[in-house]
Amino acid sequence: MTLKDYLDQNKLSLKVFGDRCGLSAPTVLRARDGINIPSRRTLQAIVTATGGKVSIQDLISVDDEAAESKTDHQKHEKI
- Cβ contact 41:31 at 8 Å: no
Q: Looking at the structure, give the CATH architecture of the domain made up of residues 3-78.
A: Orthogonal Bundle (1.10)
Tell me what pLDDT residue 73 has: 47
What are the tens digits of pLDDT across the range 23-74?
Answer: 999 999 999 999 988 999 999 999 999 999 999 999 987 554 454 545 454 5
pTM: 0.76
Mention every residue, 6+ apart, whose C-beta is less than 8 A from residue 25: 13, 14, 15, 18
Residue spans per domain, the chain: 3-78
Query: Is residue 20 over pLDDT 70?
Result: yes
